A and B are shown apart, each in its own frame.
Chain A
């Protein structure tokens, strides 16, 4: 079955450490996205990518980095520069940039700084 897989489901990080969240899709979608979800703040866009080896900053990119070396994969690294990384992270993909294409989501990764 086609879909998006995020791993791990839960992740614990010590302060000062970098961690990488995995996102893989087999939907053959061009566009991929990372969102951060905090209570009361909805989904905020971190980074998005429309093609391999190209990505754009979203609204809250500081303290995060991404890569898009393969169409299927869009890992997110939460760096030590991110001051408050504890949140729920959602990865999504869309077939194209067209206005009528909905997003497909992974199950999310809950990151906790300990």
Chain B
């Protein structure tokens, strides 16, 4: 069975600092993908970044990077140079080959302090 775990219900970070949001996963599939989404207070879901299980390099998208450690089954999101607009809920998600099932973690609420 697939499972996503986010152990940080809430995080604070000072503006312009970097922050790491944790995500661990469990799956028996060899081919899978890990995703991060941002949900502002408006409720919309915004896709941020993707990492494939066979990707050798960590994914990066602007200020977002994914610290992928396959042996530890972790896929942490790193946000560099935090901005006030980064304050939101962040969700980790996973999809695996051979199934359409797509699951999410419980999320981390990030608050950026001025």
**Stretch touching chain A among B12-20, B47-55, B65-73, B79-87:** B47-55
Residues of A within 8 A of B (CB): 31, 33, 35, 40-45, 48-50, 56, 58-59, 88, 90, 92, 94, 97-105, 107-108
Q: Is B45 an interface residue (CB 8 A)?
A: yes
Q: Which residues of B contact A35 (CB under 8 A)?
A: 104
Q: Which residues of B contact A90 (CB under 8 A)?
A: 45
Please count the residue pairs between chain A and chain B whose beta carbons lie under 8 angstroms apart in the complex.
75
Task: Indicate the member of A42, A50, A107 with the most B CB atoms within 10 Å.
Answer: A42
Is there an interface contact between B50 and A100, defined as CB atoms closer than 8 Å? yes
Considering the complex, give the chain A residue whose CB is closest to the CB of B54: A99
Is there an interface contact between B43 and A99, defined as CB atoms closer than 8 Å? no
Is there an interface contact between B106 and A97, defined as CB atoms closer than 8 Å? no
How far is the CB of A75 from the nearest CB of chain B, in Å? 18
